[in-house]
Amino acid sequence: MKAEVSLAPLVHTSSGSFGMSVPVEVGDAVYRVPRPMSALEGPVVLTPEVEASADGRAVLLRMDRWIVLHVFAKTTLPITAPDMATAARAGREFQADPGIGWQSSEADLYAWAAAWAERANTAGGGEQ
């Protein structure tokens, strides 16, 4: 049985709906492409990386590179996960950690991400 994942250009929160776009250079133009998102919790979403193809002729949604994004703070966790499930786990653990938050300094976010990746690699025996 295959999972069905819905990615939308808008996320609906108790504070209203919010969408984002991402600039992607394709050929001689920069396109502002709607960022596909899947709600995790409140204004926190999971989103695949969006980039130009190697030949610069297409826009790619990278299902092998997921990020956790707070849409109102416009802040991402400095973690790129290999799949949506891993990104969701990182996002939930970040949200549950009382020692860190979306307004934390960049250095603190990187330190949290490094510690999370170390725990995830140790627990899972793989690389994040």
Return the amino acid letter for 103. Answer: Q
Predicted structure pTM score: 0.86
For the chain, give percent helix, strand, coil, nearest 5: 25, 40, 35
Q: At what angle do helices 84-96 and 106-124 cross, to 10 degrees?
A: 120
Give the pLDDT confidence of 36-77 residue by residue, as tens digits. Answer: 999 999 889 999 999 999 998 899 999 999 999 998 888 999
Q: Which residues of 24-50 are buried (b: 16+ CB within 10 A; e: fewer)?
A: bebeeeeeebebbbbbbeebbbbbbeb
Contacts 24+ apart (CB under 8 A), 21-30: 22/50, 24/50, 24/51, 24/52, 24/59, 25/52, 25/56, 26/52, 26/56, 26/57, 26/58, 26/59, 27/56, 27/57
Return the amino acid letter for 57. Answer: R
Q: Which pLDDT band, with edges at 50, 70 and 90, does 123 fall under?
A: low
Q: Which residue has the higher pLDDT, 115 or 126?
A: 115
CA distance 121 to 55: 33
